[in-house]
Amino acid sequence: MAYHLLQHDRKGAQRLGDAVCHALLTIKHCQRCNTFSEGNICERCASSRRDSTLLCVVETPIDMNMMEQTQSYQGLYYVLMGKISPLDGVGPKDIGLDRLMARVLDGDVQEVILATNYTNEGEATAHYITAMLASKGVRVSRIARGVPVGGELEYVDSGTLAQALRERKAYGG
Amino acid sequence: MAYHLLQHDRKGAQRLGDAVCHALLTIKHCQRCNTFSEGNICERCASSRRDSTLLCVVETPIDMNMMEQTQSYQGLYYVLMGKISPLDGVGPKDIGLDRLMARVLDGDVQEVILATNYTNEGEATAHYITAMLASKGVRVSRIARGVPVGGELEYVDSGTLAQALRERKAYGG
């Protein structure tokens, strides 16, 4: 891309450079949900049409977009912008969990939905947040783990199948 | 394979042919769980070390093997050897659900775990079995649906994520 811009599109390169500099100057973190935002509060947090009793905790803005794409969530978010990862030297303080705490206790949040990844780091982060929120009077839930929609047992790994079996639930038909 | 056997290994071909004929003659369906078996009752059904209060319903013997590989299930099985699939003209009678009913009511089954696939056909089959078992005094459960173990939100389809959100559960840390 660099060669193409330098040889064929020097004006485009100028525009790209300006855009990147502009983004660096204007895009900051939303004071409520911590995602990228041009204003102090992002549009989603400012919206009165979202359910402010639900707070979904995700690792990255991309994960937030994935949740939005399901079109089945109307609550608010908190974006960690990271995850606890001891092997990489990232602890609870490094991802600002104290700000998450402040956010939960500040608003009218009744349920915190942990939607961190089902990786070791995501699980560790979910555990830590749950411990932090214990005895704070908010419900803490975790998105379900199991066989994917459309999934066939034959192609599912045994770890997932074992979990799906362990977390089986009463079936109403 | 056919060319290789005919040209290089005619004795092997004879052995293969004999083996297939032998299998056709000796392998039948277990009278309890309906899977392939050399005896009237398969080893698993005959074992006294399995928990006979749990009955896991799967579509195929392969699915049964998958469940066994999780090493986290000690109950018994019922293998449908098919699934309800109206588009292919396969109805409840074609897969012998009446025999499943007899099996459930015959033994000391307390919980039927539906482990049919999360495809349309598998879901239809699970629904039908649940309706059949209603008011028969056995618990009916379904393996969990959601994000696979090790799964990252970024790479999960929205259908699965929506389900995982809908079926979120209280998190104890």
Q: In chain A, what residues touch B173 (CB-CB under 8 Å)? A: 127, 130-131, 134, 140
Q: Closest CB to A148: pick one of B70, B148, B168.
A: B148
Q: Would you call B89 an interface residue with chain A, using a CB distance cutoff of 8 Å?
A: no
**DSSP state letters, chain A:** -HHHHHHH-HHHHHHHHHHHHHHHHH-EE-TTT-SEESSSS-HHHH-SSSEEEEEEEESSHHHHHHHHHTT---EEEEE-SS--BGGGTB-TTTTTHHHHHHHHHHTT--EEEE---SSHHHHHHHHHHHHHHTTSS-EEEE--BSBPTT--GGGS-HHHHHHHHHT-EE---
Q: Residue B100's pLDDT is what?
A: 94
Q: How far is B2 from chain A (nearest CA, A)?
A: 28
Maximum Cα–Cα distance across chain B: 65
Looking up tokens 């359910």, which residue turns up? A51
pLDDT beyond 90 at A167: no
Name the more confident of A151 and B62: B62
Q: In chain B, what residues touch A58 (CB-CB under 8 Å)? A: 153
Average pLDDT rounded to a whole number, residues A42-49: 94
Q: Residue B11's pLDDT is what?
A: 94
pLDDT beyond 70 at A155: yes
- Alpha carbon B23 to chain centroid, angstroms: 22
Per-residue pLDDT tens over the stretch A126-145:
999 999 998 888 999 999 99
Average pLDDT rounded to a whole number, residues A98-123: 93
Average pLDDT rounded to a whole number, residues B143-158: 88
Size of interface A-B (CB pairs under 8 A): 204
Of A66-75, A151-160, B26-35, B139-148, least confident by mean pLDDT is A151-160
Q: Would you call A74 an interface residue with chain B, using a CB distance cutoff of 8 Å?
A: no
In the numeric block, which tokens belong to residue B124? 């239809």
Q: Would you call A168 an interface residue with chain B, using a CB distance cutoff of 8 Å?
A: yes
pLDDT beyond 80 at A1: yes
Strand-pairing partners, residue A78, are A57
Q: Residue A79's pLDDT is what?
A: 96
User: Domain limits of chain A?
Assistant: 49-144
Q: What H or E segment, with its residue span, contains residue B68?
A: helix B61-69
Q: What H or E segment, with its residue span, contains residue B170?
A: strand B169-170
| Side-by-side strand order, sheet with A169-170 | A169-170, B139-142, B111-114, B51-58, B75-79
pLDDT beyond 80 at B21: yes
CB atoms near residue B67 (< 10 Å):
24
Of A103, A113, A116, whose CA–CA distance to A141 is shortest?
Answer: A113
Q: What percent of chain A has pLDDT over 70?
A: 99
Looking at chain A, which residue has its C-alpha nearest residue B65?
A154
Interface test with B, best of A161, A163, A167, A169 (most B CBs within 10 A): A161
Contact B124, B87 (CB under 8 A): no
Q: Closest CB to B146: pick one of A146, A166, A172.
A: A146
User: How far is it, in rounded angstroms, from Cα B147 to Cα A145?
Assistant: 5
Contact A116, A125 (CB under 8 A): yes
A171 and B58: CB-CB below 8 Å? Answer: no
How is domain A49-144 classified at the CATH fold level?
Answer: Dna Topoisomerase Vi A Subunit; Chain: A, domain 2 (3.40.1360)
Q: Would you call A101 an interface residue with chain B, using a CB distance cutoff of 8 Å?
A: no
pLDDT beyond 70 at B45: yes
Q: How far is B53 from chain A (nearest CA, A)?
A: 15
Strand-pairing partners, residue A169, are B142
Q: Would you call A147 an interface residue with chain B, using a CB distance cutoff of 8 Å?
A: yes
Model pTM score: 0.80
Pairing mode, if any, of strands B111-114 and B51-58?
Answer: parallel
Average pLDDT score over chain B? 92
Q: Residue A34's pLDDT is what?
A: 95
B173 and A131: CB-CB below 8 Å? Answer: yes
Quick one: pLDDT band at residue B23, thresholds 50, 70, 90? Answer: very high
Q: Residue B169's pLDDT is what?
A: 85
Average pLDDT rounded to a whole number, residues B5-11: 92
Per-residue pLDDT tens over the stretch B67-82:
999 999 999 999 999 9
Average pLDDT rounded to a whole number, residues B120-132: 94
Strand-pairing partners, residue B36, are B29
Q: Residue A48's pLDDT is what?
A: 93
Q: Residue A40's pLDDT is what?
A: 94
Q: Residue A32's pLDDT is what?
A: 93
